[in-house]
Homo-oligomer: A and B are copies of this chain.
Amino acid sequence: MKLEEEIKQEKFKSEHHKLMINLLFTSSWLQRLQLNMLRPYDLTPPQYNILRILRGAKGELLSLGEITTRMIDRSSNTSRLIDKLETKKWVTRKTCPNDRRQSEIGVTKEGLKVLEQLDGPIDSITEQFQFLSVKETKEVNQFLDQLRNQNLNQPI
């Protein structure tokens, strides 16, 4: 369905305005897809995001702040998300000896095992994007990157 039918709005102020709503709506749809996929594994999207970041660090331990800057959603409360993952024994947290304010967080073997199980299902979500050519995909990626950099001159 076109966005107009989805949210029963026959007309938008402009094509640009429609695009803003469409981005928010499609992202919400995508998140629900992810959520349903992760549910059987007792993981939420931000928790999954953290595990992916730790796996990407290839054994290197990361501080809480470092994880936060790498997350899809920057306003996540990483501290409490790590709490959850720690009780499931999928990550370890210990205080950094050099700077006792920081903590060093790493993924466990069990955490990696869960991630492996999820690689397939997550790939199948990505496959939904295959109808776009690589060239087109690059263009949309570039557009999104550009969009976020439009307001550098604004105070906010």
Contact = CB atoms under 8 A, between A and B. Distances in A.
Interface of A: 1-3, 6-9, 13-33, 36, 56, 69-75, 125-132, 134, 136-138, 140-141, 143-151, 156
B126 A147 contact: no
Given A25-B72, A70-B8, A20 B126 contact: yes
Contact of A134 (B15, B21, B75, B128): B15
Nearest to A31: B24
Given A19-B140, A28-B73, A136-B143, 20 more contacts: A1-B149, A2-B145, A3-B145, A7-B72, A9-B56, A15-B134, A18-B141, A19-B132, A19-B141, A20-B30, A20-B129, A21-B72, A22-B141, A23-B26, A23-B30, A24-B27, A24-B72, A26-B144, A128-B151, A131-B146
A16 B130 contact: yes
Contacts of A25: 72, 144
5 contacts: A2-B145, A9-B56, A16-B137, A23-B30, A32-B74
B144 A128 contact: no
A45 to B, nearest CB: 8
A59 to B, nearest CB: 16
Contacts of A72: 7, 21, 24-25, 28
A130 to B, nearest CB: 6
